[in-house]
Amino acid sequence: MKRRLLKRLCCAAAAFTAAAAGMRPAAAAEGRLYNQFDPYWDTVIMHSITGTESSMYTSACGVFSFCNAIYGLNSTEIDAIEFAEWAAGTGGYRPGNGGTYATILYPKLEAAWGERAHFKMLGYYDGGIRSTRLMNHLKSGGVAVIHVYNHFMAVTGYDEENDLYHVIESACSTARGLEGDSWVTAEKLSEGRTKSDWYALLQNTKAPEYSGVVTDHLHSASELSEFLLVSDIKGDFALGINDADGNRLETCYSRRAALSCEQPLQTALTEPGFYSCYASSYNSFGFIDSEPVTFQVYNTPPELSELTAAEGAMQAGEPVVFQVRGGTAESFVLEVRDAKNNRVYRCYQSGELGAWFGDTAAAEWLPEAPGEYKAHVVMYNDFGYKYSDSISLHVDGDVPVTLADDPDSAADAQTVLVPYGGAYGALPEHSRIGARFDGWFTEPENGEQISAQTVVDSSEAHSLYAHWTPYPAGDLNADMQADMRDAVLMSRLITEDAVLSADDTMLFCADTDGDGIIGISDLTALLHALSG
């Protein structure tokens, strides 16, 4: 498993990296402070000085290149408008009338800005990017402002191994073809509109004020341990590594001041255990140590794999939050399966989970349907894996239930929602001419009768079926038997007694011979049946 420096960590593990990043200054040699083509600069016009309407958007590369160079040198941020006003006052900057006059401006820079911006001028010279003086200056951690065709740029680093120059371009254009900040070849800076013909050398005079080290909580004994050393100023670094008792085991050095305020470093730590480390940032003006950082080297499979879910009712359509905890784990896979063992959710995350650090990670699952589920997590590292115990999850939610009045006719079906895990509650009562409604059942025939108190134990959509019992012929009072009381009612019905109020079921049962007419023949048939 290939590990990257500064992985994207999860939850508490991420807090370590985020906190460290929050304390770090900007990587000055790797970022642009001012972009001349930001629309804001089109509003900054120095009419009182130049008498023109030219803005810093159109003619301020000399101002911005110097500010960017100082930022790349020691992270000092110079207010570009304040500097431009000062430069215009010296006669070295004329927006709209030629821009920056370097030979007027640069001799006055150190006296006015050197102490404030922590630099000194080593001089300015005619020459190209391959000048030995310029290259040696960059190698020692200095920066330069260079002039190319009708333009100024900052050079804030030199990668001797790959022969690349770090250029901060304040005004990107298709003609020059450079990005805002990038590593550029000497060939690019020696031809066309990016051919360097003049340069000024700026040297830092500020001691480092910040030093830090960023590293993973966990280091695999099978790979090189990786560290990122950071400072507010380009310079050299030392990394000290101690054992758990504070004894010095190793001191490593990174002397690559020409590159950046951030420098990666690797070293081999093969013995498992707990360690601490700190970085020292130093230059010729001073040094500063970082706060110690603790980490662990492991050579065994994950020691812990634990999964818990947030307490409280879980509801379909609402997120379920899991907390994942691992020991010496660098990634995990979390799975949720339904009651039929179908996988309904899978989450993979990489990041350090060390029980010793109390690290946890969060994962979120959105259940689409109610039901019973099981979840587990598997922790991984370079030496193996470990399964957690499964946890059971009960998810509430509404279940659609089809009420089939007539199993042979889908048109009669009605759908209601009932709560999974709760009671069905009162279901509609249906009626049918000539039959008694006996309730709702789980099957068209036989099956279990469903009452208002019956618990909904199925999370899937299902059907309930109406059961009916026909009334006997002649059962006018719907008491499930034909007797003399029904004969009396029929006699009154035949004589059209106004006191009698007949409904459809009564009329249906009174028509004993089924001819559609209620008469003496129906009463005779009922009396005959009763006497027999």
- What mean pLDDT comes out for the span 224-231? 95
- Distance (Å) of CA 376 to CA 23, 109, 323: 37, 65, 11
Residue 330: which pLDDT band, with cuts at 50, 70 and 90? very high
- Distance (Å) of CA 267 to CA 229, 240, 285, 332: 13, 11, 28, 26
Which residues lie closer than 8 Å to 127 by C-beta, 6 or more apart? 133, 134, 196, 197, 198, 199
* CATH superfamily of the domain spanning 304-395: Immunoglobulins (2.60.40.10)
Eight-state DSSP code of residue 426:
P
pLDDT at 312 over 90: no
Lowest-confidence range among 139-143, 313-317, 356-360? 356-360
314-315 vs 391-396, strand pairing mode = parallel
Rounded distance between C-alpha atoms, residue 20 and residue 6, angstroms: 11
Residue 208: which pLDDT band, with cuts at 50, 70 and 90? very high
CB 492 within 8 A of CB 460: no
- What mean pLDDT comes out for the span 326-335? 94
- What mean pLDDT comes out for the span 73-93? 93
Eight-state DSSP code of residue 359:
-
Rounded distance between C-alpha atoms, residue 531 and residue 487, angstroms: 12
What's this model's pTM, rounded to 2 decimal places? 0.68
Residues spanned by CATH 2.60.40.1930 within the chain?
A: 211-298
Rounded distance between C-alpha atoms, residue 403 and residue 410, angstroms: 10
Joined tokens for residue 32: 């642009």
Residue that the structure tokens 């790349």 belong to: 72
List pLDDT tens digits, range 414-473.
899 999 989 999 999 988 889 999 999 999 999 999 999 999 999 999 999 999 999 999
Rounded distance between C-alpha atoms, residue 64 and residue 504, angstroms: 96
User: pLDDT value at position 24?
Assistant: 38
Residue 275: which pLDDT band, with cuts at 50, 70 and 90? very high
Architecture category of domain 26-204 in CATH: Alpha-Beta Complex (3.90)
Lowest-confidence range among 6-15, 29-38, 54-63, 261-270? 6-15
Rounded distance between C-alpha atoms, residue 259 and residue 268, angstroms: 23
Percentage, residues of the chain above pLDDT 70: 91
Percentage, residues of the chain above pLDDT 90: 68
CB 230 within 8 A of CB 179: no
Residue 14: which pLDDT band, with cuts at 50, 70 and 90? very low
Burial of residue 219 (number of CB atoms within 10 Å: 0-12, 13-18, 19+): buried
The topology (CATH level 3) of 211-298 is Immunoglobulin-like (2.60.40)
Joined tokens for residue 340: 């039929």
CB 509 within 8 A of CB 471: yes
Residue 519: which pLDDT band, with cuts at 50, 70 and 90? confident
pLDDT at 152 over 50: yes
List pLDDT tens digits, range 86-138.
999 999 998 877 789 999 999 999 999 999 999 999 999 999 999 999 999 99
Which residues lie closer than 8 Å to 18 by C-beta, 6 or more apart? none
pLDDT at 3 over 50: no
The average confidence (pLDDT) of the chain is 88
Joined tokens for residue 454: 């019956």
* Sheet-wide strand order for 143-148: 119-126, 198-204, 143-148, 151-159, 164-168, 181-185
Rounded distance between C-alpha atoms, residue 267 and residue 257, angstroms: 19
What Rg do the C-alpha atoms of the chain give, in angstroms? Answer: 43
User: pLDDT value at position 52?
Assistant: 64
Residues spanned by CATH 3.90.70.10 within the chain?
A: 26-204
Which CATH number is associated with domain 398-470?
A: 2.60.40.4270
Rounded distance between C-alpha atoms, residue 381 and residue 332, angstroms: 9
pLDDT at 199 over 80: yes
pLDDT at 7 over 50: no
pLDDT at 2 over 50: no
Which residues lie closer than 8 Å to 469 by C-beta, 6 or more apart? 435, 436, 438, 480
- Distance (Å) of CA 151 to CA 2, 75, 160, 209, 288: 44, 23, 25, 33, 38
User: pLDDT value at position 5?
Assistant: 27
